[in-house]
């Protein structure tokens, strides 16, 4: 306990010098902890999005030729994926999907989409590369799209092939400035006019699930198929609550759909997201490790600074060391005193760095909603332990020098 008091009094006796000495440790710990927090936040964000997609399990047709190519690519360490658009792909009927929902209690619903891309015009205003998604009757009941102006599609819109459209709020604002002013306006897509009956908000806006392009719009899948040359069922999704069952259900649903469709040249399958999750963890881990290692160089610089200032401290306190030895202090006690002082110096620096990293991560999390940096208790404890280790390692040389001083020579030192 006495050595700890000596260490604290020495540090407090030279506040400015101690702070400057700790600066390298503070910057190093803050950088490494913040990078780890950002990496963890990025990983959690991506995995949350993947988990969200797993609740809407996509099933697609895979031909025998494609499956063979995927196996060959996997053996060679590559990745090959394909979805839809296969030759001899069976024409999927919605009643088959409704049957699957009845046959699998874990499946609470389904929806289908088809897709097109085009520009939407209103008078002289144009929004390019809009993702136009055709949706079936069950889509809005499963997806969390909120109608913020107007209405959604009705049964008559599907049956009568009505030329109506829903605009995502960002597209509506680009064309009409406000969502309400978009209602009942006629917009042009590929020289065909569609009436805007509603504006919706997409909860995935801003995430990687949102898609690329200038914006998004919705149309009935029957109308999109009729006027844009697409199948009514382009992509199919089954909604499940327990994502841990996704791989098993995907295989069973795919096999059942293959049986219903009497497919001969291939089979229906789902994506195995466990491989994607493993890949994400590996990539984020490598990126965090590399950047963290670069940031950790400042810890090395900080350690050298601590060693330098401790050597200066030993020189300044030579007579004190001689006096302590003269009244009976052993070499071990002198060594321990200076090691503790060095360790306390780096521990305080590590604690300040940890507080700065936590504050920075909180600010980043509040400034945006995509990545939420997270400083875990494990990372906090490891950073403090590493700071202490740095203090011991770089304080060893000065402490050893102090402990070896001859008491007579030390007392004579001016």
* Strand 215-220 with 125-135, pairing: parallel
Q: Residue 247 pLDDT > 50, yes or no?
A: yes
- Examine the fold and report which residue of 228, 262, 296 is the final residue of a domain before the chain moves on: 262
Per-residue pLDDT tens over the stretch 181-215? 999 999 999 889 999 999 999 877 655 555 556 78
Pairing of strands 125-135, 107-122: antiparallel
Residues 267-278, mean pLDDT to the nearest whole number:
77
Residue 322 and residue 395 share a domain = yes
Tokens of 127: 């929004």
Same domain, 113 and 226: yes
The percentage of the chain sitting over the pLDDT mark of 90, rounded to a whole number, equals: 29
- Is residue 340 domain-shared with residue 241, that is, in the same domain? no
Q: How do residues 298-334 score in pLDDT, each as one tens digit?
A: 778 888 888 888 887 777 777 777 777 777 777 788 7
Checking if the pLDDT of 144 tops 90, the result is: no
How many structural domains comprise the chain?
A: 2
In a domain, 81, yes or no: no
pLDDT of residue 400: 81
> What is the pLDDT averaged over residues 89-93?
86
Structure tokens belonging to residue 25: 């440790």
Distance, in Å, from the CA atom of 80 to the CA atom of 82, rounded to the nearest integer, reads: 7
Do residues 130 and 119 lie in contact, with contact meaning Cβ atoms separated by under 8 Å?
Answer: yes
Is pLDDT above 90 for 133?
A: yes
Residue 273 located in a structural domain: no
Q: Does residue 170 sit in the same domain as residue 110?
A: yes
**Residue 21 banded pLDDT, cuts 50, 70, 90:** confident
The pLDDT value given to residue 52:
65
Residue scoring higher pLDDT (46 or 162): 162
Helix (H) or strand (E) holding 266: strand 266-270
> How much of the chain exceeds pLDDT 70, in percent?
88
CA 139, 145, 148 angle in degrees (round to 5)? 130
Average pLDDT over residues 281-286: 80
Tell me what pLDDT residue 113 has. 94
User: 84: pLDDT confidence band, cut at 50, 70 and 90?
Assistant: very low
Instruction: Find where tokens 């700790």 sit.
Output: 22
Check residue 318 and give its pLDDT. 75
Among the listed ranges 174-178, 361-365, 395-399, which one has the minimum average pLDDT value? 395-399
Query: Is the CA virtual torsion 67, 71, 72, 73 positive or negative?
Result: positive
79 — pLDDT class (breaks 50, 70, 90)? very low
Q: Is the residue at 268 inside a domain?
A: no
* Same-domain status, 323 and 207: no
Q: Report the pLDDT value the prediction gives residue 102, as an integer from 0 to 100.
A: 93
Torsion, Cα of 392, 395, 400, 401 (10° steps): 180
Which residue, 235, 262, 289, sits at the end of a domain?
262
Same domain, 252 and 399: no
Determine the Cα angle at 165 with ends 161 and 168, to 5°.
155
User: What are the beta bridge partners of residue 201?
Assistant: 146
Q: Which domain holds residue 346?
A: 2-49+280-412
Same domain, 173 and 220: yes
d(CA 36, CA 54): 27
State pTM to two decimals: 0.61
State the chain's mean pLDDT as an integer.
83
Residue of 20 and 209 predicted with greater confidence: 20
Same domain, 132 and 233: yes
- Residue 348 resides in a domain: yes
Is there a contact between 280 and 50 (Cβ–Cβ < 8 Å)?
yes
Q: Is residue 103 located within the same domain as residue 207?
A: yes
Q: Does residue 350 belong to any structural domain of this protein?
A: yes
Task: Give the angle subtended at the CA of 27 by the CAs of 22 and 32, to the nearest 5°.
Answer: 130
Q: Residue 80's pLDDT is what?
A: 47
Q: Which residue has the tokens 């809407």?
A: 56
Burial of 366 (0-12, 13-18, 19+ CB in 10 A): exposed
d(CA 284, CA 280): 6
DSSP 198: E
- CA 6, distance to chain mean position in Å, is 46
Same domain for 35 and 179?
A: no
Residue 75: per-residue pLDDT: 64
Please compute the mean of the pLDDT values over residues 9-38 and round it to a whole number. Answer: 83
The answer on 297 and 193 residing in a single domain is no
Does residue 79 fall inside a structural domain? Answer: no
Could you tell me if residue 267 is inside a domain?
no
* pLDDT of 32 above 80: yes
pLDDT for 73 equals: 66
Task: Please check whether residue 403 lies inside any domain of the structure.
Answer: yes
Give the pLDDT band (50/70/90) at residue 7.
Answer: low
143 and 250 inside one domain: yes
């Amino acid at each position: 306990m006495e050595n700890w008091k000596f260490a604290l009094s020495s540090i407090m006796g030279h506040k400015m010098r101690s702070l400057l000495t700790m600066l390298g440790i503070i910057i190093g710990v803050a950088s490494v902890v913040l990078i780890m927090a950002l990496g963890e936040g990025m990983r959690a964000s991506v995995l949350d999005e993947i988990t969200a997609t797993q609740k809407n399990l996509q099933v697609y047709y895979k031909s025998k030729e494609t499956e063979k190519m995927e196996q060959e690519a996997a053996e060679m360490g590559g990745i090959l994926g394909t979805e839809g658009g296969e030759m001899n792909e069976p024409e999927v009927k919605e009643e088959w999907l409704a049957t699957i929902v009845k046959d699998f209690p874990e499946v609470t619903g389904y929806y289908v989409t088809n897709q097109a891309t085009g520009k939407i015009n209103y008078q002289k205003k144009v929004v390019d590369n809009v993702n136009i998604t055709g949706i079936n009757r069950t889509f809005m009941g499963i997806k969390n799209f909120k109608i913020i102006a107007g209405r959604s599609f009705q049964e008559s819109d599907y049956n009568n092939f009505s030329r109506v459209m829903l605009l995502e709020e960002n597209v509506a604002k680009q064309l009409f400035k406000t969502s309400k002013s978009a209602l009942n306006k006629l917009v042009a897509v590929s020289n065909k006019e569609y009436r805007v009956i509603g504006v919706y908000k997409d909860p995935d806006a801003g995430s990687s699930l949102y898609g690329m392009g200038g914006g998004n719009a919705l149309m009935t899948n029957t109308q999109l198929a009729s006027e844009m040359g697409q199948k009514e069922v382009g992509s199919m999704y089954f909604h499940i609550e327990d994502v841990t069952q996704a791989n098993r259900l995907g295989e069973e649903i795919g096999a059942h759909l293959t049986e219903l469709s009497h497919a001969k040249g291939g089979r229906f399958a789902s994506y195995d997201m466990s491989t994607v999750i493993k890949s994400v963890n590996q990539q984020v881990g490598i990126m965090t490790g590399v950047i963290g290692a670069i940031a950790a160089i400042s810890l090395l610089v900080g350690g050298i600074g601590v060693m330098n200032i401790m050597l200066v401290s030993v020189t300044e306190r030579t007579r004190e060391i001689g006096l302590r030895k003269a009244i009976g202090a052993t070499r071990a006690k002198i060594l321990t005193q200076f090691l503790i002082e060095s360790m306390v110096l780096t521990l305080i620096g590590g604690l300040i760095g940890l507080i700065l990293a936590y504050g920075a991560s909180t600010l980043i999390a509040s400034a945006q909603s995509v990545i939420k940096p997270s400083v875990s208790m494990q990372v906090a404890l490891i950073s403090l332990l590493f700071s202490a280790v740095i203090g011991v390692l770089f304080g060893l040389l000065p402490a050893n020098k102090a402990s070896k001083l001859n008491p007579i020579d030390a007392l004579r030192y001016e």
